[in-house]
Amino acid sequence: FFVGLSFYTTKVELKDVFSPFGVIEEARLVRDNQTGRPKGFGFVKYSSEVEAQKAVKAMDGREVVLKLILFSLN
């Protein structure tokens, strides 16, 4: 789970940013039901916990598409 993405981030951009850390099984941007616009947060699922931890360590607090992103592992 991560927050703080630009509302203009696409699913392709999301995968491009997070794929260097491992095999992505699923990438999902949460969207507003009425507007269809991304809400600025989403989920990336990796094939292993080790890959997910690498992504968190490398990306937590970094700017992506001019926005700061923060992570939560649950």
pTM of the entire structure?
0.75
Segments making up each domain of the chain, as ranges:
2-59
Strands (E), the chain: 2-3, 24-31, 38-46, 63-64, 67-68, 70-71
Task: Tell me what pLDDT residue 13 has.
Answer: 86
Give Cβ neighbours of residue 24 (< 8 Å, ≥ 6 apart): 15, 18, 44, 45, 46, 47
CATH code of 2-59, in short, is: 3.30.70.330
Along the 74 residues of the chain, how does pLDDT read in single tens digits?
A: 777 788 888 888 889 989 999 999 999 999 999 998 888 888 999 999 999 999 999 988 877 654 555 566 66
What pLDDT is recorded for position 47?
95
Q: CB neighbours of 57 closer than 8 A, spacing ≥ 6? A: none
What is residue 67's predicted lDDT score, i.e. its pLDDT?
Answer: 54
